[in-house]
Amino acid sequence: MTIKTGHFMNMTNLEKLIIICISYDSLYNPSKTTYSISELELLSANSKSILADIVAKDLQNGKDTNERELLFNNLKQLSTRIIMSAKSIGVTKVHLDDLTFLHRKIQGRRAVAITEDEKNLMALQLKEKAAGTLVDPNVKLLKKNSVSQQSYERMIDNFSKLIELVKVTPEYLPNEVDLKTSALITKLAAMVLANKIVLKSNIVLAKAKYDRDNMFYLQENNLVDTALAVKNYTRSVFGAKSIQNKQLSALLFKKFIK
- Tell me the pLDDT tens digit for each residue of 185-225: 999 999 999 999 999 999 999 999 999 999 999 999 999 99
**pLDDT attached to residue 108:** 85
Confidence grade of residue 233 (pLDDT, cut at 50, 70, 90): very high
**CA 40 vs CA 97, 146, 207, 215: distances in Å:** 69, 54, 24, 13
Q: Give the pTM.
A: 0.76
**pLDDT attached to residue 55:** 95
* 257: pLDDT strictly greater than 90: no
Q: How many other C-beta atoms are found inside a 10 Å radius of the C-beta of residue 148?
A: 13
Confidence grade of residue 3 (pLDDT, cut at 50, 70, 90): very low
- DSSP string spanning 162-227? HHHHHHT-TT---SSGGGSHHHHHHHHHHHHHHHHHHHHHHHHHHHHHHHHHIIIIISTT-HHHHH
- pLDDT tens digit string along 117-144? 556 666 665 666 666 555 554 455 545 4
- pLDDT tens digit string along 20-30? 999 999 999 99
Distance separating alpha carbons of residues 170 and 57, to the nearest angstrom: 47
Q: How far is CA 187 from the centre of its chain?
A: 24
Question: What are the structural domain ranges in the chain?
Answer: 6-71+205-249, 110-147
